[in-house]
């Protein structure tokens, strides 16, 4: 098993209308078994018909640049969802709340994460290409 470690660096919100849709990109770095693999970004979007902050709501559309190596898409998507909801979910630190309802309706632009947030998981040793 390979150990995947990463650091979320920033979130770019392309379009977000709470309760309707979300598209964006997440920027992060990866290490596999302690070896740096570089900086990456993934495009993400809200799944059609899904509630925005539910776990199944986030679709990962692919790495840029391409990543080839051990990976676990399900665990990566889960950690990405945790990161996303920690920023923009009902208890997120980047929105203003009023009785658990968001007042922020549309958000556009980069959200730098300070300090960067980390994630890690185990992946099988089979190669995965994105």
Flag whether 125 is in a domain: no
Flag whether 119 is in a domain: no
Q: Which domain, by its residues, includes 75?
A: 2-113
Flag whether 66 is in a domain: yes
Check pLDDT > 80 for residue 53. no
Flag whether 102 is in a domain: yes
Flag whether 32 is in a domain: yes
Share of the chain above pLDDT 70, in %: 67
Q: What is the pLDDT of residues 75-101, one digit of tens each?
A: 998 998 888 877 776 666 555 444 444
Q: Are the beta carbons of 16 and 114 closer than 8 angstroms?
A: no
Q: Is the pTM of this model over 0.85?
A: no
Residues 6+ apart with CB under 8 A from 82: 119
Quick one: pLDDT band at residue 102, thresholds 50, 70, 90? Answer: very low
Alpha helices in 10-125 (DSSP H): 73-88
Burial (CB count within 10 angstroms: exposed 0-12, middle 13-18, buried 19+), residue 126:
exposed
Flag whether 50 is in a domain: yes
Total count of domains within the chain: 1
Average pLDDT over residues 45-53: 73
Flag whether 75 is in a domain: yes
């Amino acid at each position: 098993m390979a150990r995947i470690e990463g650091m979320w660096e920033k979130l770019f919100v392309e379009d977000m209308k709470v309760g309707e849709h979300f598209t964006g990109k997440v920027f992060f770095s990866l290490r596999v078994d302690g070896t740096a693999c570089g900086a990456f970004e993934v495009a993400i979007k809200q799944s059609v018909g899904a509630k925005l902050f539910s776990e199944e709501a986030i679709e990962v559309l692919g790495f840029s640049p391409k990543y080839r190596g051990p990976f676990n898409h399900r665990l990566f998507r889960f950690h990405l969802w945790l990161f996303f909801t920690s920023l923009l979910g009902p208890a997120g630190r980047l929105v203003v709340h009023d009785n658990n309802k968001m007042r922020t309706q549309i958000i556009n632009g980069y959200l730098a994460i300070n300090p960067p947030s980390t994630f890690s998981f185990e992946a099988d040793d089979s190669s995965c290409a994105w």
